[in-house]
Amino acid sequence: MRDSGAVVETTHGAVRGTVVDTPYGTVRQFLGIPFGKPPVGERRFCAPEAVTPWEGVLDAGAFGPDPLQSVDGPYTGVIPGTITDSVSEDCLTLNVWVSAGDESGLPVMVWIYGGAFLTGGSSFPLYNGARLAAEQQVVVASVNYRVGALGFMDLRQEPGGEGTAANCGLHDVRLGLEWIAANADRFGGDPATLTAFGESAGAGTILHLLGAPGISAVLRRAIMQSPGVDMTQSPEVAAKVARCFMGNAGASNVAELRQLESEEIVAAQVQTAMEMFAEAGAMPFHPVVDGSLVPMPPTDVLRTSAAVDIDVLIGGTAHELRLFQQELPADHSGQILHRMVSGHIAKRTGAEPSESDIEAVVGEYRQAAEGTAWTTDSDILTAVNTDVSMREPIQRLADFRAGAGSRTYMYDFRWCSQADPDKGAFHAIDLPFALDSFHVDGWREFIGADDTAEALGLGMRSAWAAFARSGDPSTSELGPWPRYELDGRMTMILDGDSTPAADPLKNERSMWGPVGGVDS
């Protein structure tokens, strides 16, 4: 890494980046650019404010701190390249990568990290945008946003909560997108192509912002990889989370919360997450319907014409939840599977299911698993939960967008881990393919990446960049990619031999028979 000698005049001041070499050429990178005032003190729990313009030239040679979070949680480091050693409340910075030539009019791709709205950061090695920028000749940016209690706790109804905001993390991302849109051309990009892309909670962040008033003035396209679709909290649940957190923090009002040290915030957040998960089986600190930035749940928004002019590319992996599978107790596995399937059916139908309905669904999944290595009750439950919580909801989103008239494309990622076949095409396996990060922290060994993986990665990155450039992911590497329409549900199967397929999830939907799935 060396001084680029290049200074870019942004809307808020001058920045000087550095130059890095990649296998595809030299890249200018600008790291740690502030876009919001430090959200500390009286600004804690408030929507972000645009950064105050600075004088002189800002040294943009190093990442800023990642958002405050627990750095030793149960899933920390499960995904290689997602560990940070620097966290802070003062985290509202962004990063930009662009080829070192005299470029202009390049597509602009903004990465939004995941992490269950509890963890994540733009400095993670897995998310470095230098290679993607050089290989695909695009401007890549990434944005920090607050996570956990500081980013996704609604204190508006609590004592002293006047002036606080729900969804601070979403507000952070929107402010970052607005900064990038205003400055893209100064880095060689075309703001009219601004494309947000992200995975898991990052995709969920994009999903929630699609309903934000005026978002079409900033965002042109959206790529959502494995979005958590049904992660929106009701105001009632959000209020319960806030009260639980305040109790764990020993605070009776927002003023007292603002006096807490960062370490106390993290400790109360961890305790609240454990308690809420034990009570309700769901994680707290998620986006909430707030009547403004998130006017209604995304599944309702996307049925309407809201943001219909934003092109959408969406999909997931074939075996999302195998990464998190826990073996059920051998002597109770059948009962647990039965109870979980019963709950899913009841949620779909609004009524208690009959034994025959439950057995019919379980039987369909057992039959589908015949001849595979995934036949235990734990395996069956993981398959059920993957379909119910990820694959079917993702297809519903594609249906809603296509039905509303938005230009929509869908994919199903099926390349399976060669190092640990039991994990299959697990949640987040697609990250190094999309970001060219096989070289990071043992990813190549983690999944057994081979020549087919390298070729698929090139195909994905080319398609993602083509979509950002024109709204159509068709490329010479993957070939024509048909638009997703309700009458055919054409979906690109991403695997060693990628090809479009008509309605590839039809069998999964049929397993639920009369108790319902995605409309046939």
CA-to-CA distance for 397 and 409, rounded, in angstroms?
A: 11
**What is the rounded end-to-end Cα distance, in angstroms, of the chain?**
54
* Spatial contact of 233 and 204, defined as CB atoms under 8 Å apart: no
Cα dihedral sign, 202-78-265-241? positive
Side-chain half-sphere of 331: how many Cα atoms within 13 Å? 0
Structure tokens at 291: 């009547």
CB distance 132 to 95 below 8 Å: no
Catalytic residue among 171, 286, 344, 427: 427
Catalytic status, residue 378: no
Put residue 238 in one of left, alpha, beta given phi > 0 → left and psi -120 to 50 → alpha: alpha
For the chain, the residue count is 520
HEC profile for 327-343?
A: CCCCCCHHHHHHHHHHH
Q: Which helix (H) or strand (E) holds 264?
A: helix 262-280
Q: In Å, how far are 32, 53, 156, 371 from 61, measured between CA atoms?
A: 7, 19, 38, 53
Report H helices in 427-499: 431-435, 443-447, 451-470
464 and 109 Cβ atoms separated by less than 8 Å? yes
Give the alpha-carbon dihedral of 461, 462, 466, 469, to 10 degrees.
70
Our answer to whether residue 427 is catalytic in this structure is: yes
Cβ proximity of 150 and 39 under 8 Å: yes
According to DSSP, the β-strands at 93-99 and 139-143 are antiparallel
Closest alpha carbon to 128 in 441, 403, 415 = 441
Structure token pair of residue 320: 């999302």
Active site residue 261: no
Q: 158, 320, 392, 508: which one is catalytic?
A: 320
3-state per-residue secondary structure call for 351-387: CCCCHHHHHHHHHHHHHHHCCCCCCCHHHHHHHHHHH
Read off the tokens for 501: 């397929």
Beta-carbon count within 10 A of 193 CB = 21
Set 99, 123, 200, 378: catalytic member: 200
Catalogue the active-site residues.
Answer: 200, 320, 427
